[in-house]
């Protein structure tokens, strides 16, 4: 039943002579289909934890298993989204969304319907042939959501995906995300320092403390999301 299992995960960065213990001793598990927010102050190790879950950063000690397999590197079944999920500027919105399909060397025509339905869900229909600079910041992040979901990954890992946006656009993005999850719920880890965003989006909220960087609280949101 544990889809994501993090056991005593620790990360120490070595920079020259200095070492930084970015994540101290984090353990938690997530069942399939849960939307879990990881909340905590800036610098507490949230990004590092997420990068280890994505297989993009090595684990100093402890274990992270996803679908009963230890994380040793990036996987096709895991989508990621960052605060600045840069779109390729010389490619159209549609080409950007389909880029992961090309990376995985799969036939683009098999993913065209899915790309178009994601464009519709995020209100980007009609903008597919625009270049990223012709869109607003909010629209670019919506395109980044489409790109992260186009190959239908089992898990979406998001690192403060909307924190560069103004408050109103951010509310719209949260609405867009909830809209997608209503139609096709997925297992998600969502890193944020906004309590409001965590409570709005997540089924569960994990709270990380600054030092030592561990998970202290596991708050289950008992009420249905709006």
Q: Where along the sequence are the contacts to ligand ADP (CB under 6 A)?
A: 13, 15, 20, 22, 40, 42-48, 123, 134-139, 169, 172
Of 22 and 149, which CB lies nearer to ligand ADP in the complex structure? Answer: 22
Please list, in sequence order, all residues whose beta carbon lies within 8 angstroms of the beta carbon of residue 6, skipping any fewer than 6 positions away: 26, 27, 28, 29, 49, 53, 62, 63, 64
Q: Which is nearer to ligand ADP, 42 or 68 (CB)?
A: 42
Nearer to ligand ADP, 56 or 199 (CB): 56
Q: What is the full DSSP assignment across 104-159?
A: TT--GGGGHHHHHHHHHHTT-TT-TTS-GGGS-HHHHHHHHHHHHHTT--SEEEEE
Q: 37 with 187: CB under 8 angstroms?
A: no
The helix/strand/coil state of 24 is strand
Closest Cα to residue 150, out of 117, 178, 172, 174? 117
Q: What residue is closest to ligand ADP based on CB?
A: 138
In the complex with ligand ADP, which residue's Cβ is closer, 185 or 212?
212
Residue 84 or 152: the one with the smaller Cβ distance to ligand ADP is: 84
Nearest approach, Cβ of residue 45 and ligand ADP (Å): 4
**Shortest distance in whole angstroms from residue 3 CB to ligand ADP:** 23
Least spacing, CB of residue 76 vs ligand ADP, in Å: 24
C-alpha 99/C-alpha 151 separation (Å) is: 10
- Supply the minimum distance, in Å, between the C-beta of residue 58 and ligand ADP: 11
Closest approach, Cβ 11 to ligand ADP, in A, equals 8
């Amino acid at each position: 039943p544990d889809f994501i299992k993090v056991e005593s995960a620790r990360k120490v960065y070595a920079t020259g002579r200095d070492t930084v213990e970015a994540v101290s001793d984090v353990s938690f598990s997530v069942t399939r289909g849960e939307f879990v927010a990881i909340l905590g102050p800036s610098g507490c190790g949230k990004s590092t934890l997420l990068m280890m879950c994505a297989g993009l950063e090595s684990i100093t000690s402890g274990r992270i298993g996803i679908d009963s397999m230890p994380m040793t590197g990036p996987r096709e079944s895991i989508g990621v989204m960052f605060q600045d999920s840069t779109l390729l500027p010389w490619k159209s919105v549609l080409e950007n969304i389909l880029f992961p399909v090309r990376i995985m060397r799969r036939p683009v025509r098999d993913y065209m319907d899915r790309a178009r339905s994601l464009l519709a869900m995020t209100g980007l229909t009609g903008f597919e042939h625009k270049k990223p600079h012709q869109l607003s910041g909010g629209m670019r992040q919506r395109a980044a959501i489409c790109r992260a979901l186009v190959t239908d990954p089992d898990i979406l890992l998001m690192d403060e995906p909307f924190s560069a946006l103004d408050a109103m656009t951010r509310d719209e993005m949260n609405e867009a995300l909830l809209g997608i999850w209503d139609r096709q719920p997925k297992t998600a880890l969502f890193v944020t320092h906004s309590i409001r965003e965590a409570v709005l989006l997540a089924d569960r909220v994990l709270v990380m403390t600054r030092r030592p960087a561990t998970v202290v609280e596991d708050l289950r949101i008992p009420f249905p999301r709006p």
